[in-house]
């Protein structure tokens, strides 16, 4: 009996020890499960992060590829641009050299015309002085007719000189740069307006017969109609030219449209070429008006008419000189 008690105690102790160990083991199992859950959750976060990184890397590669492609496209465009600019530069050099040569020729032509006009005006003034002396001396109609015909031929000469000068520089002739400032204010297509001259003469050549008055009135009306037609033609030309130049503005900034730009400028140049024709028609109208006037008037009246026209022009030149010499405040 004495031996059984210790074993019983020992058994009890073992049982107690076993019972005492169970809670600890349960805690370890729970801890391991929690750790595994945390590890699994952490792995998922890591996987998501890795997936995000891979996606970001993929997008980065795509952006880099697109950027490289953009650079390549830009390089190709730049190469094309350089080639087009080189062609345009070569054309520009050709055009520039042609323009320089043309400008030199036109400049020489304008200078030559100015000198020829100065000589023409000097001879015209001499002839007018001769005519004035004949009228004052009551020269015969035959003598006056000789001087009148000479002056009319001299007018024909200036129109011929203007036509030749217009081939070199039509702008110089049309703008009246060979005239004084006051004369330029009253210019119409590079010269006097025929209807205005007839209006001036109708008040300075009295007395006139009814037939002469009717003839001058009809001539003035027909001259006015011809002037209006030429003026409308010039306006249409200016409008067409403006539209042509405006049409090239949208493409002037793109080198890809160099050929189109050059084509439009060539078209504008072609339209400018018609200016010479307008000047020639205007001068023909001026000469025809003077010739018709001479047919309507008597010899002595024609002489007086030429004096009136010359005096009017002389006063315009004198007005220019006085204006330029005025005191400048």
In angstroms, how far is CA 296 from the centroid of its own chain?
47
For residues 46 and 5, what is the distance between their CA atoms, to the nearest angstrom? 61
Per-residue pLDDT of 277-325, as tens digits, reads 999 999 999 999 999 999 999 999 999 999 999 999 999 999 999 999 9
- Give 195: exposed, middle or buried? Use CB within 10 Å, 0-12, 13-18, 19+: buried
Asked whether residue 12 carries a pLDDT value surpassing 70, the answer given is no
Asked whether residue 199 carries a pLDDT value surpassing 70, the answer given is yes
Asked whether residue 88 carries a pLDDT value surpassing 70, the answer given is no
Band of pLDDT at residue 254, cut at 50, 70 and 90: low
Predicted local confidence at residue 224, as pLDDT: 97
Kindly report which listed range (60-69, 261-270, 278-287) carries the lowest average pLDDT score.
60-69
For residues 307 and 142, what is the distance between their CA atoms, to the nearest angstrom? 17
Kindly report which listed range (78-82, 91-95, 264-268) carries the lowest average pLDDT score.
91-95
Residue closest to 296 by CA, chosen among 220, 225, 191: 220
For residues 47 and 45, what is the distance between their CA atoms, to the nearest angstrom? 5
Domain boundaries, the chain: 47-94, 109-217+276-324
Residue for token pair 């010359």: 310
Q: What's the N-to-C CA distance of the chain in angstroms?
A: 153
Per-residue buried b or exposed e for 124-137, using 16+ beta carbons within 10 Å of the residue's own CB: beebbebbbebbee
Residue for token pair 């309507």: 296
Residue closest to 216 by CA, chosen among 236, 194, 186: 194
């Amino acid at each position: 009996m004495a031996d059984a008690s210790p074993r019983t105690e020992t058994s009890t102790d073992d049982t107690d020890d076993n019972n005492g160990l169970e809670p600890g083991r349960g805690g370890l199992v729970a801890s391991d499960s929690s750790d595994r859950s945390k590890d699994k959750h952490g792995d998922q976060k890591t996987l998501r992060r890795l997936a995000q990184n891979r996606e970001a890397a993929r997008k980065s590669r795509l952006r880099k590829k697109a950027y490289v492609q953009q650079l390549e496209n830009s390089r190709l465009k730049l190469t094309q641009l350089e080639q087009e600019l080189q062609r345009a530069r070569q054309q520009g050099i050709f055009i520039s050299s042609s323009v320089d040569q043309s400008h030199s020729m036109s400049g020489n032509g304008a200078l030559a015309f100015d000198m020829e006009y100065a000589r023409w005006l000097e001879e015209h003034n001499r002839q007018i002085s001769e005519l004035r002396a004949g009228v004052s001396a009551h020269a015969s109609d035959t003598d006056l007719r000789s001087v009148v015909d000479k002056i009319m031929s001299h007018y024909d000469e200036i129109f011929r000189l203007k036509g030749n000068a217009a081939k070199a520089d039509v702008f110089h002739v049309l703008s009246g740069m060979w005239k004084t400032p006051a004369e330029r204010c009253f210019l119409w297509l590079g010269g006097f307006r025929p209807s205005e001259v007839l209006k001036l003469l109708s008040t300075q050549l009295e007395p006139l017969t009814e037939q002469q008055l009717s003839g001058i009135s009809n001539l003035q009306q027909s001259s006015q109609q011809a002037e209006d037609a030429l003026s409308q033609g010039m306006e249409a030309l200016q409008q067409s030219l403006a539209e042509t130049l405006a049409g090239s503005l949208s493409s002037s900034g793109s080198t890809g449209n160099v050929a189109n730009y050059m084509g439009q400028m060539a078209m504008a140049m072609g339209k400018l070429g018609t200016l010479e024709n307008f000047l020639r028609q205007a001068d023909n109208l001026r000469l025809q008006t003077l010739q018709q006037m001479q047919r309507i008037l008597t010899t002595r009246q024609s002489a007086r008419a030429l004096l009136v026209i010359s005096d009017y022009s002389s006063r315009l030149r004198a007005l220019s000189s006085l204006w330029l010499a005025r005191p400048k405040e």
